Chain A
Amino acid sequence: MELIKLQNLTKTYHVGELDVPVLKGVSLSIDRGELVALMGASGSGKSTLMNILGCLDRPTSGKYWLDDQEVSQISSDERALVRNRKIGFVFQSFNLLPRTSALDQVMMPLTYTAAQMSEREGRQRGKDLLNLVGLGDRMDHEPSQLSGGQQQRVAIARALINRPPLLFADEPTGNLDSKTSKEVLQMFQKLNEEENITIIIVTHDANVASTANRRIKISDGLIESGGYGESESERAVDRRPASAVSA
């Protein structure tokens, strides 16, 4: 069952008089419950694709179905709603609020959730998520009192507070050492297997990408491999078993 389906997606930036095509017709589909690595060198259009997939940006043309909703041309307010309900974000630099307790960080997205839950309910869910990422004893700690890996796990808990079907991780281990990187990646695998959350890890690191069940390579604005956008046969060939995390 498809969670994400892209059809001939393009994105062109206008720099002065020049049109700079960054995405030149990307077709792609990702099923529910997949753990996908999105790879590509810088300048390949990887970031642009990620922004569009994350509903932060709008494609110039083409179609994008997210969770059976066509989202390529919706307004910015509607995109905010989609991001809030369906997508969780984990960033390279954590992006935690300074001087705010871990629990408050995790609960922050609830402020913008239309279907309001009670403060107590939200607090309970925040605690559950912090327990899930193994920070049950650090709920009142501020970012300055947490290590990098712990901070990233707080960020993961925050991304999951609205129970999104899709989790985006943009270079999630870029600021972490190899040991904590491993922990975080294992956390993604665990979430993917146990909670059945679709995870897209954007990275240029082959080691990180090897955690994923499937690798999508993008170069020069086109999918090089792993897109499954064209034929079912390609998918069968390219599917590889999940490999262990390489240290």
Chain B
Amino acid sequence: MRAVYRTLLTAVRALRRNVMRSALTCVGIVIGIAAVIAMTEIGNGISTLNAKKIASLGANNLMIQPGSAGGSGFSFGSGSSLTLTAQDCDAMLRECTAIRAAAPTVGTNAQVAYGNKNDPTIRITGTTPAYLDVREWPLDEGDCFTDQDVRNTSKVCVIGQTLKTNLFGDEEPVGKELRVGPVSMRVVGVLTRKGASMFGSDQDNVLIAPWTTIKHRVSNKVDSSAVAQASGASSAVNSLSNPYPNTSLQLYPAISQIQAADTPQPIRFANISYIMAAATAPEEIPVAIKQVTELLRDRHRTREGQVEDFQIRDMTEASDALSESTALIGKLLLIVAMISLVVGGVGIMNIMLVSVTERTREIGLRMAVGARARDILWQFLIEAVVLCLLGGIFGIGLGRGASMLVRQFAHWPTAVSLPALIISVIVSAAVGILFGFYPAWKASRLDPIEALRYE
């Protein structure tokens, strides 16, 4: 330990004897490491931004659909069986750690009208407030409906930008009542513009309302009654227009449609069209899929070997694009790092070789007073490593400074990368050892008699 300290001290003293040269020798490494740090930090920022952008396209989204009904060789296609419930969705949020948010969703098509304008083709989505979180879709004005609204089957909705323009023109939509099919709904919020989806359909031409409202008030269609063998009864139950469908004996006078709509009954089973879920991160999607599959198999009492009654879809294309672009940035940075560090390392080797030649007599003297070959080797190796490490530390400072300037003035997001800091220190030490070894070895091979006589 003491010998290491003494050697280190000797090396530092030798470097201090020629401060200017030592500083200039470091410059290569300083610039190399600074470039690596700045690039990594800026690159990190950009890739976070990228990830956010791609995530808003749905890279970390999962769509859980009911499976296909059918049997003995025929199928009605996915979504045709009625097996998913809002409780499945709650359970997912509770038990799947890789799921950040999940929203039960029902979809329908209905005419939407306001004043003398209407829009017959609009996509109506019934869901919970979590849906906007899953889609990463903020509101432009107003507020989203609440979970309370979902429980109360409230007649409220939020609308997309296209629908706002089509129906309201320049009018302020928040607080206005519009009609969805036969049901009147109050607009509580307007979504920000999301633009077209990757396949060209306009994502802003939407109306989003509590799923209970859509399911029980708007959507009158009997859910695929033809194929809903298992849940035929429940689909009849699930219509607010006929709360007691199986009662043959009427104890009370039949309630009118309006009365029924005004007093929704507690519902034991309400199937939904699909569940939209967001994984905590795009990389977590495989984990999320595994967790959801296990949970839903359990909840749906699917036996070992039996086919699941649901399907999970993810946006593989989008997430692949994300990971590919991130990997590409990483590779590029690595190449830049390599080149600059090799250049810096050659600079160090060059100066160390000059230094060994110039200090031949010193080496001879040190050998004469009792330095072994390996003492000389260590001294020069440590000098090179100290130079590189100092260069690395200054480089980290410079790189951090540069990335802060970029953040301050160019408003690019930057993020500190701890692994990059640690790796730069290790790499600069490694460069010192790699490029310092040859000069140090040369120094240690000198013959003390020759070295002492060297002019």
**Could you tell me which A residues sit within 8 Å of B by CB distance?**
51, 54, 56-57, 76-77, 80-81, 83-85, 89, 91, 93, 95, 97-100, 104, 108-113, 116, 158-159, 162
Partner of A76, one of B7, B364, B372: B372
Q: Closest residue of chain B to A98, judged by CB?
A: B17
Tell me if B367 counts as interface (CB < 8 A to partner A).
yes
- Apart from A83-B368, A111-B9: 16 A-B pairs, beta carbons within 8 A: A56-B368, A56-B448, A76-B372, A80-B372, A80-B373, A80-B375, A83-B369, A97-B362, A99-B18, A100-B13, A104-B13, A108-B10, A108-B366, A116-B3, A159-B369, A162-B370
30 contacts between A and B (CB under 8 A): A54-B368, A56-B448, A76-B372, A76-B373, A77-B372, A77-B373, A80-B370, A80-B372, A81-B372, A83-B368, A83-B370, A84-B370, A85-B370, A89-B368, A93-B361, A95-B362, A97-B17, A97-B362, A97-B365, A98-B17, A100-B17, A108-B10, A108-B369, A110-B6, A111-B6, A111-B9, A111-B371, A112-B375, A113-B370, A158-B369
Does B255 sit within 8 A of A, measured CB to CB? no
Contacts of B364 in A (CB 8 A): 95
Chain B, residues 10-36, CB within 8 Å of chain A (1/0): the string is 100100011000000000000000000
Cβ–Cβ contact A89 & B373, under 8 A: no
State whether the Cβ of B452 lies closer than 8 Å to any Cβ in chain A. yes
Nearest CB in chain B: distance from A9 CB, A: 17
Asked whether B303 is an interface residue with its Cβ less than 8 Å from the other chain, the reply is: no
Question: For B7, what are the chain A residues with a Cβ–Cβ distance below 8 Å?
Answer: 111
Q: In the bound complex, do residue A95 and residue B365 qualify as a contact, i.e. CB atoms below 8 Å apart?
A: yes
| Residues on the A chain within 8 Å of B367, using CB | 56, 80, 83
Q: How far is the CB of B22 from chain A (nearest CB, A)?
A: 12
Interface of B is mostly: helix
Number of interface residues of B (CB under 8 A): 26
A77 (CB) vs chain B CBs: closest residue: B372
Which 6 A-B residue pairings sit nearest by Cβ, starting from the closest? A84-B370, A109-B369, A112-B370, A99-B17, A80-B372, A95-B365
Bound form: Cα–Cα A176–B38 in Å: 58
Residue of A57, A81, A97 with most partner-chain B CB within 10 A: A97
A112 touches B372 (CB 8 A): yes
What B residues does A159 contact at CB under 8 A? 369
By the criterion CB–CB under 8 Å, are A57 and B449 in contact? yes
Question: Which of B18, B371, B452 contacts A80 (CB under 8 A)?
Answer: B371
Most interface-central of A56, A77, A158 (chain B CB within 10 A): A56
CB distance from B292 to the nearest CB of A (A): 66
Check if B2 is an interface residue, CB within 8 A of chain A: yes
Could you say which residues of chain B place their CB within 8 Å of the CB of A104?
13
- Inside 8 A of A111's CB, which chain B residues have their CB? 6-7, 9-10, 371, 375
Once bound together, how far apart are the Cα atoms of A83 and B374, in whole Å? 16
Chain B: minimal CB distance from A84 (Å):
2
Query: B362 contacts which chain A residues (CB < 8 A)?
Result: 95, 97
C-alpha gap A80/B375 in the complex (Å): 10
Residues in B neighbouring A54, C-beta threshold 8 A: 368
